[in-house]
Structure 1
Amino acid sequence: MDPSYKARKEAFVSNLAGSTLWEINTVTLVASTSVLLWSALQSRLSFFTPYGPAGIAADFILNVLAILFATTAYSSAPVLLNIFLVSPAVLLFLTRHTQRTPQKAKPPRKSKAKDESSEDQLALPVHPFLTTYRAAMMIVTCVAILAVDFRAFPRRFAKVENWGTSLMDLGVGSFVFSAGVVSARAVLKGRNSKTPKAALHKRLIGSARHSIPLLVLGLIRLWSVKGLDYAEHVTEYGVHWNFFFTLGFLPPFVELFDSLTNLIPSYEVLALLTAVLYQVALESTDLKRYILVAPRGPDLLSKNREGVFSFIGYFAIFLAGRGVGIRIIPRGTWATKTPQQARKSVLQSLVLQGLFWSTIFFFNSTYAFGYGANIPVSRRLANMPYVLWVSAFNSVQLFLFCLTETVFFPAVHRAATKESEAEQAKFATSPVLHAFNRGGLALFLIANLLTGAVNLSIPTLDMNTPQAMGILIVYAAVLTGAALGMDKYNIKLSL
């Protein structure tokens, strides 16, 4: 890469101050309102059944391009874009009746009844709203990692230097939080299993197997960035560290910490304790100064101190996500609790989670009428306000997706059998979002490779807005095509 252009690229993503929470919330709300419109079209018109070319195009426009446009062309007017999406959804909801889900003819069931229904109760359901949440987060992340290299993507959405909030800062934390949410499945399966819990060393070996692909990807990214002389923002994670290493080291550390749940059964409390202890260390020692302003020494820790110490904050975020997953993934129905009551409990739990994290964030990051700590958010440190912000935001996002599913597709959580539940879930899930969720890790890798290829092929800084949008739309279409193709041929590589 030309040295002068490389310097321009690095300056383009450096020393940024971020955006306001209001703007970030209105931009990210587009993911929820897009799903709202998709749900209205599907539940009222069965628009995406069967799933033909028109359905694929509409699905792509709603769930991928709407997010792209929210972060670029509509970045100054996200509220307007949300109104455009919500208005037809409300109109359909008020004027059309729910379409019946297509049911396949089934042979009559033999009445083994009790065993099967108790097995169904213990089985962990597939929640469409969780699929939608994780896929929307993946799409925002994949869109942003290339869009940030163009001037069409506002600088206030790119990662901040030291203090402040931005869309991309929220994205990396949300990635970790969502991984924590789905990791709760393994914990719940272990609790439901009749076999005793495996020894710690066996669980560490199992988690290491899960980590190896991510660590290998981290090494490949490190080699390619250094070998191709690619522009890099050193203060983001350090000289050698990258986000793949953060993701790769999480599983073994979580297993080590998991033993503490015998003493402290709440993952949310563990997350909060981790964040508090880390923040105390930042404030009462020279750690904060060391991370932010100390000269980079020759040792590996000094060269990669941002990645190493921010890992503590990301670890707390992962634990918070797992705590949410533990509460919302189980079916929750018993002899005395109906499916409707179980779903109400999930919604209430998400509201309480959102209020819990938001309240602590308010007191931690502002003066809060003279009672707050007024500590600014720092993604570079992954400090306590950052942990609380990410946890609060994702809890609210999950609530919005869950509420949409509950209103438009109530048959999903009311399904009496696993077969019926699978049919209802398929009807209630966007195929594009299902594909993005299913191929998470592979798509994240493809997005990184495409981003590198585009940046090495064209001078992204010199592209005008129409040119940038054309490239980004093609990139989004290629990524969506890859997702649908992998899903069709049953290639699964999720995070």
Structure 2
Amino acid sequence: MSRAAEAAMAASYKALKEDFVSNLTGGSISEINLVTAVSPVALVCWAALQSRLSFFKPYTPLAFAVDFLLNVGAILLAFTLYSDKPLLLSILLLAPVIMVYAIPKPSPVRKQKPPPRKLAKDSEPQTPLPKKPFLTIYRGAMMITTCIAILAVDFRIFPRRFAKVENWGTSLMDVGVGSFVFSAGIVAARPLLKEKLAGKTTPVLTRLSRSLRHSLPLLVLGFIRLYTVKGLDYAEHVTEYGVHWNFFFTLGFLPPFVAIFQSAFQIIPSYAALGIMLCSLYQIALEFTDLKAFVLTGPRDNLFSKNREGIFSFFGYLAIFLAGQSTGMIVIPRSLSKTLTSGAAQRKRLLLTLGAWCAVWISLFTITSSYNYGLNLTVSRRLANLPYFFWICAFNSCQITAFCLVETIFFPQAHQSTDAKTEAETYEASSSRVFEAYNRNGLAVFLAANLLTGLVNLTVPTLNVGEIEAMVILFAYASVVTGLAIGLDAYDISVKL
């Protein structure tokens, strides 16, 4: 075959790939909720094994295999073979729970208690910002979902309704992008809470300089991705972020803009309110100016217009980040009220608060998107508009609440510890090692997953692969990414990007 014919075939395959990985309208929100509910259901099975049998302590190779199959394999199956029957998969995952509780609970090993004076001397005061298992699980599950989806979307076994939509609608991958930003906002609340506890306020210029240091590695990754995608002629969708823009640029520009918005917090003491106001103003601009038409149909005749999707959707993602910070201010602190002294009372208050926020976000989404009783606006990930903002906030708030509820039921000791040592032990006992590993080095693992995704696409004609071959490749890919995450965690390595 001549080089010209090979080039023509490659160009044809690239065009087919670009059309294949895009979807016009996506799937229904209810279907997305059913598929993503597989992760909390799998966690129930993991929690039953651990709380009843201490199955994952010590962490043997068998324990790792079960941990991987429950918390990674179940998500992969939900996106592929069981995409049309997620309820069946959930039932299959819950079935072992009944068997676990049918087995008599083993007698606890009696340990000699240390003298009271020594315990009091060795115990350390608890930190006001503890590591919480349900947050680790939430962020770990989000990272696993993202890493699996970015490769699975290239295979025919991955339903087209789960792929990113073109202009309007909802899909699994659309909620994944927003969830990544929301999760980053939750983490960004920790330094703000530390400042609040210390009773000090960082000057604006200092915040900006720190944020720029955080942004620089992400912007470098953005340029590396831009160079590799263009240099390797990798299939991409211009309508996703633009000709040159990519998701790393969005993540990189978030910190300095958030630093500026923290000054507005002195006037409006709610990051959620700031996010709602910002996205509402952006939606007004979309509806009452030519902005929407420009983003969707405008010509690409200069650098600004070529990247208009990434530039203007940034306002929506910034609002999502602020909403994530608002949630972080709720879920990260040890206590929400100084009047509540017991851990059980604090956890009850947290669950009620999270439930209330779920109701708020769902109500706001319904108001903006309802045809009969609302504004009749359609979700658009391309625009990152107001209903997309409310949808992402509602989805993530419900996910966090679900994980928090599972932890509260199966591991009540996680929020009732009285000293730092016991708290660290209960955290380790009630947290999946796989979720912990993904959470610890999330961005580094995500970068490695992107590199592996590119490698697979350059070496395997993914559109021509059958179901069995596709599942073998995807499970091998998930195993490598998970092995990398577990390896970094085992060697106590934290990669800060």
TM range (shorter): over 0.9
Alpha-carbon distance, 1:84 to partner: 1.0
Are 1:180 and 1:320, in contact at CA under 8 Å, matched by a contact in 2? yes
Q: 2:4 corresponds to which residue?
A: none
Alpha-carbon distance, 1:366 to partner: 1.2
Once the two structures are superposed, residues 194-244 of structure 1 have per-residue CA deviations (whole angstroms, 9 ceiling, x without a partner) of 4x3221111111111111111111110000000111111110000000001
Q: 1:210 corresponds to which residue?
A: 214
Q: Sort the Cα spacing of 1:15 and 1:141 in 2 relative to 1 into closer, same or farther, 3 A.
A: closer
Partner Cα separation in structure 2 for residue 112 and residue 255 of structure 1 = 42
Q: Is the partner of 2:235 in helix, strand or coil?
A: coil
Partner Cα separation in structure 1 for residue 100 and residue 166 of structure 2 = 44
Alpha-carbon distance, 1:88 to partner: 2.5
Q: 1:456 aligns with which of 450, 455, 458?
A: 458
Alpha-carbon distance, 1:123 to partner: 2.5
Q: Sort the Cα spacing of 1:336 and 1:481 in 2 relative to 1 into closer, same or farther, 3 A.
A: closer
Are 1:30 and 1:82, in contact at CA under 8 Å, matched by a contact in 2? yes
Alpha-carbon distance, 1:13 to partner: 2.1
Q: Sort the Cα spacing of 1:70 and 1:335 in 2 relative to 1 into closer, same or farther, 3 A.
A: same
What is the letter of the counterpart of residue 377 of structure 1? V
Q: 2:79 aligns with which of 49, 59, 71?
A: 71
Q: 2:29 aligns with which of 3, 16, 21?
A: 21
Q: 1:307 corresponds to which residue?
A: 310
TM-score (norm 2): 0.94
Alpha-carbon distance, 1:294 to partner: 1.0
CA-based RMSD of the aligned residues comes to 2.1
Q: 2:58 corresponds to which residue?
A: 50
Q: 2:347 corresponds to which residue?
A: 343
**Does 83-92 or 67-76 show the bigger shift?**
83-92
Q: Does 1:191 align with 2:199?
A: no
Are 1:45 and 1:99, in contact at CA under 8 Å, matched by a contact in 2? no
Alpha-carbon distance, 1:22 to partner: 1.0
Are 1:275 and 1:383, in contact at CA under 8 Å, matched by a contact in 2? yes
Q: Sort the Cα spacing of 1:230 and 1:484 in 2 relative to 1 into closer, same or farther, 3 A.
A: same
Are 2:445 and 2:481, in contact at CA under 8 Å, matched by a contact in 1? yes
Q: 1:424 corresponds to which residue?
A: 426
Q: 2:365 corresponds to which residue?
A: 361
Partner Cα separation in structure 2 for residue 108 and residue 163 of structure 1 = 64
Once the two structures are superposed, residues 399-418 of structure 1 have per-residue CA deviations (whole angstroms, 9 ceiling, x without a partner) of 00000000000001000011
What is the letter of the counterpart of residue 123 of structure 1? P
Q: 1:141 corresponds to which residue?
A: 146
Partner Cα separation in structure 1 for residue 114 and residue 231 of structure 2 = 58
Q: 1:130 aligns with which of 120, 125, 135?
A: 135
Q: Structure 2 unaligned runs (5+)? A: 1-6
Q: 1:172 aligns with which of 165, 174, 177?
A: 177
**Percent of counterpart pairs with the same letter?**
55
Q: 1:181 corresponds to which residue?
A: 186
Structural mapping, 1:247-326, within 5 Å: 247-297=251-301, 299-326=302-329
Once the two structures are superposed, residues 3-26 of structure 1 have per-residue CA deviations (whole angstroms, 9 ceiling, x without a partner) of 111111111123522000111000
Are 1:150 and 1:461, in contact at CA under 8 Å, matched by a contact in 2? yes
Alpha-carbon distance, 1:93 to partner: 4.9
What is the letter of the counterpart of residue 124 of structure 1? L
Are 1:125 and 1:330, in contact at CA under 8 Å, matched by a contact in 2? yes
Are 2:354 and 2:397, in contact at CA under 8 Å, matched by a contact in 1? yes
Partner Cα separation in structure 2 for residue 103 and residue 78 of structure 1 = 44
Partner Cα separation in structure 1 for residue 442 and residue 429 of structure 2 = 21
Q: Is the partner of 1:262 in helix, strand or coil?
A: coil
Q: Sort the Cα spacing of 1:103 and 1:36 in 2 relative to 1 into closer, same or farther, 3 A.
A: farther
Partner Cα separation in structure 1 for residue 178 and residue 198 of structure 2 = 31
Q: Sort the Cα spacing of 1:105 and 1:133 in 2 relative to 1 into closer, same or farther, 3 A.
A: farther
Once the two structures are superposed, residues 376-405 of structure 1 have per-residue CA deviations (whole angstroms, 9 ceiling, x without a partner) of 000000000000000000000000000000
Are 1:128 and 1:429, in contact at CA under 8 Å, matched by a contact in 2? yes
Partner Cα separation in structure 2 for residue 300 and residue 65 of structure 1 = 42
Q: Does 1:242 align with 2:246?
A: yes
Partner Cα separation in structure 2 for residue 43 and residue 351 of structure 1 = 25
Alpha-carbon distance, 1:33 to partner: 0.6
Partner Cα separation in structure 1 for residue 214 and residue 131 of structure 2 = 22
Once the two structures are superposed, residues 112-164 of structure 1 have per-residue CA deviations (whole angstroms, 9 ceiling, x without a partner) of 88xx87x52x5211100000000000000000000000001011000000000
Once the two structures are superposed, residues 323-380 of structure 1 have per-residue CA deviations (whole angstroms, 9 ceiling, x without a partner) of 111011111164642111100111011101110000010111112xx33111000000
Q: Sort the Cα spacing of 1:101 and 1:140 in 2 relative to 1 into closer, same or farther, 3 A.
A: farther
Alpha-carbon distance, 1:96 to partner: 5.4
Q: Sort the Cα spacing of 1:475 and 1:109 in 2 relative to 1 into closer, same or farther, 3 A.
A: farther
Q: 2:43 aligns with which of 12, 22, 35?
A: 35
Q: 1:59 corresponds to which residue?
A: 67
Q: Is the partner of 1:273 in helix, strand or coil?
A: helix
Alpha-carbon distance, 1:111 to partner: 8.6
Partner Cα separation in structure 2 for residue 317 and residue 494 of structure 1 = 23
Are 1:16 and 1:155, in contact at CA under 8 Å, matched by a contact in 2? no
Q: Sort the Cα spacing of 1:101 and 1:19 in 2 relative to 1 into closer, same or farther, 3 A.
A: farther
Partner Cα separation in structure 2 for residue 405 and residue 101 of structure 1 = 23
Alpha-carbon distance, 1:248 to partner: 0.7
Q: Sort the Cα spacing of 1:87 and 1:309 in 2 relative to 1 into closer, same or farther, 3 A.
A: same
What is the letter of the counterpart of residue 247 of structure 2? F
Alpha-carbon distance, 1:491 to partner: 1.5
Q: Sort the Cα spacing of 1:463 and 1:104 in 2 relative to 1 into closer, same or farther, 3 A.
A: farther
TM-score (norm 1): 0.95
Q: Sort the Cα spacing of 1:269 and 1:91 in 2 relative to 1 into closer, same or farther, 3 A.
A: farther
Q: Does 1:392 align with 2:397?
A: no
Q: 1:163 aligns with which of 160, 168, 184?
A: 168
Partner Cα separation in structure 2 for residue 157 and residue 351 of structure 1 = 27
Q: Structure 1 unaligned runs (5+)? A: none
Partner Cα separation in structure 1 for residue 482 and residue 432 of structure 2 = 12
Structural mapping, 1:446-485, within 5 Å: 446-485=448-487
Alpha-carbon distance, 1:493 to partner: 2.6
Q: Sort the Cα spacing of 1:193 and 1:465 in 2 relative to 1 into closer, same or farther, 3 A.
A: same
Are 2:279 and 2:386, in contact at CA under 8 Å, matched by a contact in 1? yes
Q: 1:411 corresponds to which residue?
A: 413
Q: Does 1:5 align with 2:13?
A: yes
**Does 197-206 or 102-111 show the bigger shift?**
102-111
Q: Sort the Cα spacing of 1:300 and 1:55 in 2 relative to 1 into closer, same or farther, 3 A.
A: same
Aligned residues: 488
**Does 328-337 or 94-103 show the bigger shift?**
94-103
Alpha-carbon distance, 1:461 to partner: 0.7
